[in-house]
Amino acid sequence: MDLTGKKIAILATNGFEQAELEVPQERLKKAGATVDVVSLAAGEIKGWDKKDWGRPVKVDKTLDEASAADYDAIVLPGGQINPDLLRVESKALKFIKDIFDAKKIVAAVCHAPWLLIETGIAKGRKMTSFKSIKTDVANAGAKWEDAEVVVDQGVITSRNPGDLEAFCAKIVEEVKEGRHTQRSAA
């Protein structure tokens, strides 16, 4: 699937699960997309790799420099630290919600569905997540499913790093399809 001409934002901050940022970044670039790592501040952000701090990743744009209008999709990596830090940042939540409201693709893996809860996107949707936040997702009004990838009108969710191949393939497929103009609000 060729994503030439498509732009995808990966929104993350320190503590992102290493593979959940790097694998989608690599797969989406390989498919031809332009991929920007967007974060709260310029410079680098540091990942979390299984049980300890991982490698730094260069930030391409800050939230102040990024606009939802510039992107066809947003990818939200998990890890426990990253989405917990982002869900209290109003600029991050607005960026996610603006992409969603423009009927573009929103993809979240592991603990990143916390961001879909915080923005109100989770309510009324079929979703999955890391098993430890299953109750959070259900309490937010989503129908939680135990599957490697769940898609509901352009909102893509996966459980953990073991699901990344299916997650990335689904992102490519959904971005190729384009906007979800029939997407309903919950």
Structure confidence at residue 123 (pLDDT)? 97
Q: Mean pLDDT per segment of 10 residues, for the chain of length 186 residues? A: 93 98 98 98 96 96 98 97 98 98 98 98 98 98 98 97 98 89 59
Strands 61-62 and 34-39: parallel
Catalytic residue status for 168: no
Catalytic residue status for 110: yes
Single pTM value for the model: 0.96
Structure confidence at residue 58 (pLDDT)? 98
In order of 5, 26, 68, 116, 172, the CA distances from 33 in angstroms are: 6, 10, 16, 24, 9
Residue among 86, 110, 137, 149 flagged as catalytic: 110
* E strand spans, 28-129: 34-39, 44-49, 52-58, 61-62, 73-76, 105-109, 126-127
Which residues is 146 bridged to in the sheet? none
Residue among 6, 87, 111, 125 flagged as catalytic: 111
- Rounded Cα gap, residues 153 and 49, in angstroms: 31
